[in-house]
Structure 1
Amino acid sequence: MRISLNWLRELVDITMSPEELAHTLTMAGFEVEEIEDRRRWADGVVVGKVVTCDRHPDADKLSVCQVDVGAGDLLNIVCGAPNVKAGIYVPVATVGTYLPTIDLKIKKAKLRGVPSAGMICSLAEVGLAKESAGIHIFSGDPLEVGSDARPLLGLDDVILDLTSTANRADALSMVGVAREVVALTGAPLRLPAVDVRAFPTGDESLKVEVSESQACPAYIGTAIASVKIGPSPAWLQQRLEAAGVRPINNVVDVTNYVLLEWGQPLHAFDRAKLEQVAGGDALTIGVRFARADESLKTLDGQQRTLKPESLVITANDAAVALAGVMGGEETEVDENTENLVLEAALFDSAAIRRSARSQGLRSESSARYERGVNQAELEMACRRAIALIEELAGGEVLSQAQADARGDRTQWSRAIALRLDRVNHVLGPIRQGDGTGQLDGDTVERILTALGCTLEADGDSQTWTVTVPPYRARDLEREIDLIEEIARLYGYDNFCATLPNQSACGDLTVPQQVLRELRAALRAAGLTELMHYSLVKATDETQIALHNPLFVEYSALRTEMLSAMVDAFVYNLEQGNGPLNGFEIGRVFWKSEEGSHEKEAIAGMMGGDPSRGRWVRGGRERGMSWYEAKGMLESACDRLGLALDYRPFNQGDRGLHPLFAEYCQTHLHPGRTASIWLWGKAIGVFGQLHPQVRQDRDLPEEVYVFQMDLDPIVQALSKQIGGQKFVAFSPYPASGRDLAFFSPVELSVAQLAKVMQKAGGSLLESVDLFDEYRGQNVPEGQRSLAFRLIYRGGDRTLTDEEVEKTHQKVRDLLVKQFEVSLRS
């Protein structure tokens, strides 16, 4: 918010410089981003009177003026403005004046042969406008020539661009900032005078009926007649312009002025236009949520389609304004307005936030309502606006109607228990001379009293019951909030910098170590770690949807991670970056009849030609095979010592969530998908993308994905952390044997390898499949498998008899358990 020091000085005495005040506010939590010293814009500009104005002898568009600036002799100034004439008072930049806005220093010069000693200024040249059609002409009584022109231009002021935190809604007003300065400096506060007279009520021609009392706890409608619309006085326009608000007319400017002064948004309706929209002289002002078929043209000229969450003001049930955000164009105040209905209302923060977001519209009013407006000063702001309208527009109050659901006024404040020992425990020691000390009770009472709180000591003055003023009731809710205020006003720099008495070395938890090792293993296998948003587009009722999404594309939580992996793969191909082999660790979410659920998962994707761009196979591309893709995942697992089993995918596999299993059923290749098992439970799926998905997304034929639950993997690896031991390679030679047989197709290689390992015992070092064949000379429903078995002893060289004996055990157990047909 832009704070005018001249305006602020009317509310509180300020003796410090603008720089000192800015530093004080910043240290108290109100960051001053910029100090705009407007006094420099027109330093040296004085009031002058144009005594004579004659046409330049050699230029039709120039005038030669004799200007009195109170220096005795008249100044001869050549002026090119079309509105210059004799007898007017104007701002004059004398010789030697520097105008920083246009970066010009005034010097004596000749224009078309005529000497000129100064410049008659426009508003653009003194920084008050971007463009000006002519020079500025002062209005009003005869002015003192030669006097400083800055007070008349509103340039005898300094503007502080102040940023407040989201919890300090009270700081979005001059009164709120003045109260903060009072608390920081101890100076007395002078609130604007407010008329306390009673207004007529009970007029049947103006009623207020609020159907949504939770969204609108209070609404005051005031009928004002016989107003005269015109420009606002200079002082009001200058204050609005200093705050960054464009002056419009005296009535609208008053509502904006009170908004800036009290932080209470107001809105003025043209009563005749309201009656025209309402279809009668008797008006009933209402507040409700919009209907699906309604629309409204707002003051910015936009025709807006209203949504059910849009809160509207109605006249006889016809929507005339977007409540708390922006008025309607049909009922705006213009130069023909004679009668008004002035709105002063309280709206619920959440209701205005949803309403403004539904229309993609924010305004000065909605910004204040969203943070929270002080409900105790609604009537004061309304009365202040009425008094200014009567003063500046000559209006007369006819009647006032009100709907109030705010409840007992005694409940508008809040009582909080505060303990002195808790204050010192949280804030720590303070600096006292060369030593340290603690905050005492008198200091705490002084600070909180300066904030407007009232304190009642409970017994020994070590605890208090603190009653918070209504304008801080939304901000100060708990004891810790009061402690924060004490620290803020006492000065953070007055507290000692303390460290914990004992410090310990940081360490990673076992799950953290496991995740680091897992990421390292996957990167070592050639996968790049990816990261996607957890928010996706809502497409299924099983998704958890957000109530207030920013965009439709990010309106629900993801139920699986593979879709994002596919999108990233496609994007990289489209950008000419080749296939993206990557993995991601994140969370997935879903809902069921039991409620909402979430869990951590790990997903990955690989495919394409890994040797692309290299001179291999004469430059011909070759897709990644199932075994190469599966081998990348297995190499990472081998590095971690994680033993996973692979079995044919079944949608009903125990451990797979039904929603994820259904996704795999439709998006993965029906004959090239395997379930991943750990500890007798399915934890995920590995498979090739479905041909239809591949075709729809224009992907290579060989693209593979996997997704697994992370918790079982972390639990399995956690048992190995700190327990892994180095085992030296055996110095004795190995002895290899090949084993080939016919096996049923439904029998997995993992099951066969497990039985071989069991039969071979400690002498069988490894089992590797090196050939698979289906076709001619292979029985129906079977396949030919060939394994390479390596036998090795850790303490001796094995004899042929030992190897053959163990190898025979393997053969016998396979025949006994699976009834395979041995070929070797």
Structure 2
Amino acid sequence: MRISLNWLRELVTVSMSPEEIGETLTMAGFEVEDIEDRRTWAEGVVVGRVLERQAHPDADRLSVCKVDIGAGEPSTIVCGAANVRADTYVPVATVGSYLPVVDLKIRPQKKRGVLSEGMICSLAELGLAKDSEGIHIFPQEDLKIGQDVRPLLGLDDVILDLTSTANRADALSLVGIARELAAITGVPLNLPDIPERAIASDEKSLALHISESKACPVYIGTLISGVKIAPSPEWLQRRLLASGTRPINNVVDVTNYVLLEWGQPLHAFDADRLQQVAGGDRLTVGVRFANGGETLTTLDSQERKLHEQTLLITANDRPVALAGVMGGEATEVYDGSMNLMLEAALFDSVAIRRSARSLGLRTEASARYERGVNAAELPLACRRALQLLEELAEGTVESQAIVQSQAIQATTAPTIELRLDRVNAVLGPVDLSDSDEDESVIGELQSEDVERILTALGCQVAATNPDRTLWNVTVPPYRYRDLEREIDLIEEVARLYGFNKFIDTLPKEGEAGYLPIDQALLREIHQAFRAVGLTEVMHYSVGKPDEERQIQLTNPLFAEFSALRTDLLPALIDAFQFNQEQGNGALQAYEIGRVFWKEEDGLMESDRIAGILGGDPSQGRWVTSGREQPMSWFEAKGVLQSVFQRLGVEVEYQPDRRNPILHPGRTASLWIGGEHLGVFGQLHPQERQRRSLPDEVYIFELELDLLLHKMDQEDQLTPVFRLYSPFPATDRDIAFFAPTKFSVADIQRAVHQTAGTLLESVSLFDEYRGENVPTGQRSLAFRLIYRAGDRTLTDDEVEPIHQKVRDTLQEKFQADLRS
């Protein structure tokens, strides 16, 4: 935003130089990107009076002028402008002056044989216009010859080009910057005197119908009659030009002036044209969203096709303006306008952002509405505009209609509790010395400092304890959008006290940092998966909406990314397929991410681990004569089991047929301590064929929180060392037929429980189904290893235990023993 220093100094009396003001605002969070010192543009340019003008003897387009510049004898100046004439006051660049805009040093020089002692300037040469048809002629009469032209042309000003953060909507106005500067420097604020006024309402002349109260919580429409359209006075035009706004006429300029001064966008409609577009005898101004197929020609003469999310101003339900963005051409103020309808409204920032984005149109008004306009000062800005319209356009206020939603009426200034100890804990020690030359005195912020700063910002500070270390702070209405919590107030204290006053040295003694337990365990999980050869991948947490339980985004960038993911597996399968199609081989990968879904109780989320592996993971196939050797189900399970062993958790596998994308006969649900951990299985053949994937692809998905919880147990964090037995083991093999309904995990669990502490391990080493095996059964062979830590076991000790195992298999699992 461009800030005129002359205008700013009318609102707050500061004696600092422009550079000091720029440094002060920058340190307070408002970065001053450029300081445009206009005083240098016309240094040495004075008011001169053309006494006589004669044609140049040797050039048709040049004139030889005698100009009085108040230096005794008149100066002879050769001028090429067609509009130069005698008895006029003009700006004259004297000999020795420098015009930086055109990079010209004025020296005496001959032009076609005539010595020229200076230059009569145009506005373009003084930096006030891009192009000029001729020299500038002052409209004033009886100017003082030889006086400095800069005050006459507004070149005695300095322009600060500054940017503010997105949360500081109040800083997009002169008043907002003046308040900030007054709070920093402690000088008084001199805001314009805007008296209260009562305006009658007349529904026969103007009625309001706001169908979208959430998008437009406040609307003020004022009818003004008898205006006279004319150019704005010079002081107003100069301020607009200094701020980068082109003057148009006194009515439009007033709305732009209030926009710059108070940050409140306004719009003036030609009331007669508005009635003509509306039709009928009565005028009802409304606010609604556009219907499909509607169009509107805006002030830039562009016919715009409206979308359903475009917010409109209507006259008897006919579109006349883009709410908060741009007015319509059919109702604009023109030279013949006599009656106005002034709009002052509060529009929802989200609604204006969507509306402007849907049309690819962004204006000064929409930029302010998108950041948030101050609702409390909306009537004040409206009264300011009416005051200027009566003064500059001779208008008469006839009637006013106001619609205000109950939500806005019920809005109160927020009150925040602030603690002094919290302020010092967050900000740390400060340098209490008065100047840079004094020796540093380290201390803490005091109650007086906090109260002084917050009061200067316009807050009401009330201490709630005798020692004034706890306050209830009431936020001013123009800061309610960005001062919501205690930490926001602490930031304001730091910002206005001065960031450069806080101690930036580290403590002499520090404490070694450490990772939280969940982060340390999460790193172990990453290491375990990388150790078995899996690569970590990451995908977007949004995707296409294809499930009822998916959570839909209210403002998606694209339709393809409009819903939150409910699981991690689809993205991993897509990545596996993409790598295959690109000739990169089978992807062995895992991902840790968050999933989201809807339930009757509300919205849910959880963290999960998912992975995919398969195909032939080997790089060379020398021993297989170039043929691929797909990973088997047991090899894939072994990879996952290696991870669990490395993490120190015991996981049980149970048959599972519930997941439709997994093979119904090669899928297992994973259980840990009686709780469901996740699922592991082979990709369903139909899904594999649809995607043209290899024969063997395996996927898994685990609940991260449950895994972390089991790893966080005391016996897992600090494992107990067990001595290795120095005595030899004895093994026994047992083979039998068993019905397929019994899982290997159940059989192994029963064997462990029966054999007791002497059984060191039990493992399956053979499974067979087919010829010579009864229907509905399978042949299983287990190896049982017995070992004691204090002796060598004898057959007399092992055989009774082994016989109990055989009996248990026959009783519980209908085993037909073969050995």
Q: Which residue of 2 aligns with 1:559?
A: 566
Secondary structure of the residue aligned to 2:13 is coil
In 2, the alpha carbon distance for the partners of 1:224 and 1:782 equals 96
Q: Which residue of 1 aligns with 2:333?
A: 333
Alignment of 1:51-66 (within 5 A): none
Match status 1:781 vs 2:776: yes
Match status 1:15 vs 2:15: yes
User: In the comparison of the two structures, how many residue pairs are matched?
Assistant: 804
Match status 1:207 vs 2:210: no
The offset of 1:499, in angstroms, is 8.9
Secondary structure of the residue aligned to 2:377 is helix
The offset of 1:259, in angstroms, is 0.7
Cα deviation 1:520-551 (Å, max 9, x = unaligned): 11111112223333333333331233444454
8 A contact 1:120–1:135 mirrored in 2:
no
Secondary structure of the residue aligned to 1:598 is strand
Match status 1:282 vs 2:319: no
Match status 1:158 vs 2:150: no
Give the residue type in structure 2 aligned to 1:223.
L
In 2, the alpha carbon distance for the partners of 1:410 and 1:767 equals 72
Secondary structure of the residue aligned to 2:22 is helix
Q: Which residue of 1 aligns with 2:718?
A: 723
Match status 1:187 vs 2:187: yes
Q: Which residue of 2 aligns with 1:586?
A: 593
8 A contact 2:123–2:136 mirrored in 1:
no
Which has the larger displacement, 171-180 or 794-803? 794-803
In structure 2, list runs of 5 or more residues that go unmatched.
Answer: 434-439
The offset of 1:591, in angstroms, is 2.2
Question: Could you tell me the percent identity over the aligned residues?
Answer: 60
In 1, the alpha carbon distance for the partners of 2:462 and 2:760 equals 82
In 2, the alpha carbon distance for the partners of 1:682 and 1:438 equals 54
Match status 1:240 vs 2:240: yes
Which has the larger displacement, 700-709 or 24-33? 24-33
1:535 to 536, 542, 566: 542
Cα 1:698/1:330, change in 2 over 3 Å: farther
Q: Which residue of 1 aligns with 2:635?
A: 628
Cα 1:336/1:774, change in 2 over 3 Å: farther
Cα 1:486/1:53, change in 2 over 3 Å: farther
Cα 1:417/1:704, change in 2 over 3 Å: closer
Cα 1:693/1:250, change in 2 over 3 Å: farther
Cα 1:361/1:768, change in 2 over 3 Å: farther
In 2, the alpha carbon distance for the partners of 1:452 and 1:345 equals 24
In 2, the alpha carbon distance for the partners of 1:758 and 1:135 equals 107
8 A contact 1:90–1:120 mirrored in 2:
yes
1:637 to 644, 649, 661: 644
Cα 1:800/1:311, change in 2 over 3 Å: same
8 A contact 1:376–1:412 mirrored in 2:
no
Cα 1:280/1:575, change in 2 over 3 Å: farther
In 2, the alpha carbon distance for the partners of 1:697 and 1:40 equals 71
Q: Which residue of 1 aligns with 2:437?
A: none
Alignment of 1:481-520 (within 5 A): 485-494=492-501, 505-520=512-527
Q: Which residue of 2 aligns with 1:140?
A: 139
In 2, the alpha carbon distance for the partners of 1:543 and 1:526 equals 33
Match status 1:688 vs 2:687: no
The offset of 1:316, in angstroms, is 1.8
In 2, the alpha carbon distance for the partners of 1:636 and 1:349 equals 50
1:747 to 736, 739, 742: 742
Give the residue type in structure 2 aligned to 1:780.
T
Which has the larger displacement, 744-753 or 522-531? 744-753
In 2, the alpha carbon distance for the partners of 1:144 and 1:471 equals 45
In 2, the alpha carbon distance for the partners of 1:782 and 1:694 equals 29
The offset of 1:625, in angstroms, is 2.9
The offset of 1:423, in angstroms, is 7.0
Provide the aligned C-alpha RMSD in A: 4.7
1:599 to 581, 602, 606: 606
Cα deviation 1:467-511 (Å, max 9, x = unaligned): 665444555567776665455434454466799999755444443
Q: Which residue of 2 aligns with 1:175?
A: 175
Cα deviation 1:284-325 (Å, max 9, x = unaligned): 223345556755555463624343x65432212333233333
In 1, the alpha carbon distance for the partners of 2:769 and 2:21 equals 87
Secondary structure of the residue aligned to 1:673 is strand
Cα 1:459/1:580, change in 2 over 3 Å: closer
Give the residue type in structure 2 aligned to 1:624.
M
Give the residue type in structure 1 aligned to 2:28.
A
Cα deviation 1:727-782 (Å, max 9, x = unaligned): 56666666666655444344333334444555665565544445544444444333
Secondary structure of the residue aligned to 2:610 is strand
Cα 1:783/1:340, change in 2 over 3 Å: same
Which has the larger displacement, 543-552 or 177-186? 543-552
Q: Which residue of 2 aligns with 1:711?
A: 705
In 2, the alpha carbon distance for the partners of 1:178 and 1:754 equals 78
Secondary structure of the residue aligned to 2:551 is coil
Cα 1:158/1:672, change in 2 over 3 Å: farther
In 2, the alpha carbon distance for the partners of 1:36 and 1:528 equals 55
8 A contact 2:77–2:120 mirrored in 1:
no
In 2, the alpha carbon distance for the partners of 1:359 and 1:371 equals 18
In 1, the alpha carbon distance for the partners of 2:164 and 2:421 equals 30
Give the residue type in structure 2 aligned to 1:531.
M
Normalised to the residue count of structure 2, the TM-score between the two structures is 0.82
Q: Which residue of 2 aligns with 1:659?
A: none
Secondary structure of the residue aligned to 1:272 is helix
Cα deviation 1:117-168 (Å, max 9, x = unaligned): 9888777776667x64866745533777876665566554333333434554
Cα 1:509/1:478, change in 2 over 3 Å: closer
Cα deviation 1:246-279 (Å, max 9, x = unaligned): 4444432321211110122111112233223211
Give the residue type in structure 1 aligned to 2:333.
V
The offset of 1:8, in angstroms, is 0.4
Q: Which residue of 2 aligns with 1:525?
A: 532
Normalised to the residue count of structure 1, the TM-score between the two structures is 0.81
In 1, the alpha carbon distance for the partners of 2:730 and 2:417 equals 82
Secondary structure of the residue aligned to 1:178 is helix
Q: Which residue of 2 aligns with 1:385?
A: 385
In 2, the alpha carbon distance for the partners of 1:260 and 1:519 equals 55
Q: Which residue of 1 aligns with 2:219?
A: 219
Which has the larger displacement, 67-76 or 738-747? 67-76
Q: Which residue of 2 aligns with 1:655?
A: none
Which has the larger displacement, 410-419 or 718-727? 410-419
Cα 1:756/1:298, change in 2 over 3 Å: farther
Secondary structure of the residue aligned to 1:631 is helix
